[in-house]
Amino acid sequence: MEDQLNWAGNYRYGSMELLEPKSLKEVKEFVMSRTKIRVLGSRHSFNGIADTGGSNLSLRKMNRVIDLDREERTVTVEGGIRYGDLCRYLDDHGYALHNLASLPHISVAGAVATATHGSGDLNASLASSVRRIELIKADGEVIILTRGIDPEFDGAVVGLGGLGVVTKLTLDLVPSFQVSQTVYDRLPFSALDSDIEEILSAAYSVSLFTDWAEPIFNQVWVKRKSGISGDQVSSHFFGALPATERRHMVTGQSVENCSEQLGVPGPWYDRLPHFRMEFTPSAGNELQSEYFIPRRHAVEAIRALSKLSDRIAPLLYTSEIRTIASDTHWMSPCYQQNSVGLHFTWKPDWERVRQLLPLVERELEPFGVRPHWAKLFTMESELIQARYERLADFRQLLLRYDPIGKFRNTFLDHYIMQ
């Protein structure tokens, strides 16, 4: 397959061809004529979750807005549309999504399938905004599942690519809003001991960045919804001082890549992500891991990871800590638990990172840790499976939708089916 690398360049896909349908009819034809097939999103996965020994199918040419329903306050889109493109359309029509991930460059269907998330005390994963999905099964049948109507909906939305090709999604909308973003410098870890709930709940979205070199959050990115009480930039944030110039969370990287800061209000879609749509995000050549734990264990988990600071810091670009509200999707790492995400952006030294990850996972084990499905981890499949109470139901759903395993791959076989 041409261009077989993922976005970060750390993973090479083993598929034999890349299919790019332009219509539902073509998707059905490709699905029915192949024995092994997997959908490839915007390639922001860091492991083999999207890989296959057969055919990869990309929906990047199926990226239209199908319908904006003002009465229901929903938008229906094709699965290949990227958040950055959808958001501009929505804002032009007076609407917004409740939350966004760090990157506006990712595809809607791909982000939803792995429960990708943004940040916020009351904001659940991007999958939580899905009201309806259209799915093409292995036999070519087109089915539509709707929240609150179809009992399999919560199993299918975060489907890890194993149920079929999600060709359309209907998303809940909210009225468009403005956000201002302020970065604060050097918040001590110790501030969490007495004020963690106030810190994590201080704004619409709060992200804590550290390099683990010392017990300090080097930066705190605070995104405030404009027009509500407390949206003004304060002189300090629990002792951290506001930055006087724009920041990139990775030292030495260009601030031009980052969304606007310094308390300047702007559209929700241009502030909730950390990176701007028109620039290459983050550090580029990097590795990523992320782990989710119940929110109530956040302080203990940070203390536990601090014991590895001398091992983590040399391999790290930056680490982000943020909150995600619970959701109802069976295979979401935030299923029925308010969570904290512990994210690591590693330097591209996989051998050393691979040796470190088991130590990180061991420290987080007492807190019921769950890894991000599309990032790098080394946890045993038995341990991961024990974390998901609806895994047996999801396994049966996979077998009913795709009895011959057309959409399954080595990743799903290992972590779900065994």
Q: Which residues contact 377 (CB under 8 A, 6 or more apart)?
A: 47, 289, 291, 357, 361, 371
By CB atoms closer than 10 A (0-12, 13-18, 19+), residue 224 is buried
pLDDT at position 105 is 83
List the one residue out of 1, 103, 7 whose CA is nearest residue 47: 7
Number of domains in the chain: 2
Does residue 125 lie within any of the structural domains? no
Radius of gyration of the chain (CA): 21
Q: Is pLDDT of 283 > 50?
A: no
pLDDT at position 201 is 92
What does the pLDDT look like over 21-56, one tens digit per residue? Answer: 999 999 999 999 999 999 998 888 999 999 999 999
Q: HSE-up of 299 (CA within 13 Å, CB side)?
A: 13
Q: Are 213 and 319 in contact (CB under 8 A)?
A: no
Does residue 130 lie within any of the structural domains? no
Does residue 95 lie within any of the structural domains? no
Q: Which of 58, 82, 110 is the last residue of a domain?
A: 58
Adjacent-strand bridge partners of 168: 78, 134
Handedness of CA 133, 139, 141, 145 (dihedral sign): negative
**Containing domain of residue 35, as a range?**
17-58
Please state whether beta strands 55-58 and 37-40 pair in parallel, antiparallel, or not at all (unpaired). Answer: parallel
Q: Is pLDDT of 281 > 80?
A: no
Q: Highest-confidence range of 90-104, 133-147, 186-200, by mean pLDDT?
A: 133-147
What does the pLDDT look like over 159-201, one tens digit per residue? Answer: 999 999 999 999 999 999 999 999 999 999 999 998 899 999 9
Q: Mean pLDDT over residues 195-217, rounded?
A: 94
pLDDT at position 271 is 93
Does residue 68 lie within any of the structural domains? no
List the one residue out of 349, 274, 78 whose CA is nearest residue 357: 349
Q: Note whether 54 and 187 are same-domain residues.
A: no
Does residue 160 lie within any of the structural domains? no
Using pLDDT thresholds of 50, 70 and 90, give the confidence band for residue 232.
low
- Find the CATH number of the domain harbouring 52: 3.30.43.10
Residue type for 14, please? G
